[in-house]
Amino acid sequence: MLRRPSLSIPQPCQENWQAMTPTAQGRHCAACTKVVIDFTSMSDAEIVAYLGRSAGASCGRFHSSQLNRALTAPLPEPCAAGRKRWLALVAFLGIGTLATPVVQAQLPQPVLTEHPYPVTMGLVATRPTTGPGVPPAPVVRGVVLEAVGRVPLPGVIVTIAETTVGVSTNDDGTFELVLPATFRQSKSVLLYISSVGYESQYLQVNPQDTATQRIVLASGSRMLGEVVLIDGRYATPWYSPRGLWNRITRPFRQKQKLN
């Protein structure tokens, strides 16, 4: 029985949210002539209820924290007609992402908005959580640390090598990468880890291993913070990856302290 669906955006929309025309439920996108529903302020129960009522495909705007996880609100017991409509919605939106080995999607990038998490827009793909006898989609969990001092690194991109399926690390350097269904029985997956100012690396992991992967990144060939000569004057680069991340997230941390 379909009780806890999860959501994903296989192909994130690159249109400017602020440039769209406001509507009652979100904003109208002139590029695709659709109303983009703003789900960022909705609870899991409200999202499930909305998708259960809507007919056809839905285009939405989400926090990254709302995607690629099982929604916590259970679906109500559907009547026959409602159940058929929900199954049709799942079939229309979810089968493509479950059957496709590689999801052709661009990685969501952190942006400066009124929300403390990256926001992603695009066509919603809904898939139910697995039932009895079907193994769940494997999840690779890990933490990325700086080689010097073993400090957690936020904003590091972790992808399946040679694909665009991936995530970025949180403030504490942790990440959870939900792998496609094709990796359910796989014993090996190659990850690619990269960040500005650090040496990129490949890491072979076992998708069936539930242990947290510990990944250490070394600084790039030119050390961040070294003195460089610019127009006859000496200066130091104005940022490091951690410094840039702190500048971006500082307003949200200050707002949380005030609240």
In the chain, residues under CATH classification 2.60.40.1120 are: 130-259
CA distance 48 to 128: 12
61: DSSP letter: E
CB 195 within 8 A of CB 175: no
153-203, pLDDT tens digit by residue?
999 999 999 999 999 999 999 999 999 988 888 899 999 999 988 999 999
Would you tell me how many other CB atoms lie within 10 Å of the CB of residue 138? 21
Helix (H) or strand (E) holding 38: strand 34-38
Q: How far apart are CA 50 and CA 58, in angstroms?
A: 10
pLDDT at 158: 95
CB 143 within 8 A of CB 215: yes
Question: pLDDT 10s digit of each residue in the chain, 259 long?
Answer: 445 677 777 778 788 888 888 888 788 888 878 888 888 888 888 888 887 777 667 788 888 788 887 777 654 555 555 555 555 444 444 433 333 333 334 444 444 344 444 566 666 666 555 555 566 789 999 999 999 999 999 999 999 999 999 999 999 999 999 999 888 888 999 999 999 889 999 999 999 998 999 999 998 765 444 544 445 555 445 445 555 566 666 666 666 666 6
Determine the pLDDT at residue 134: 62
Tokens of 25: 């439920």
Q: Which pLDDT score is estimated for 254?
A: 63
- Dist. CA 238–CA 155, nearest whole Å: 18
Superfamily of domain 130-259: Carboxypeptidase-like, regulatory domain (2.60.40.1120)
The DSSP secondary-structure symbol of 70 reads: B
The pLDDT, as a whole number, for residue 65 is 80
User: What pLDDT is attached to residue 247?
Assistant: 61
CB 58 within 8 A of CB 114: no
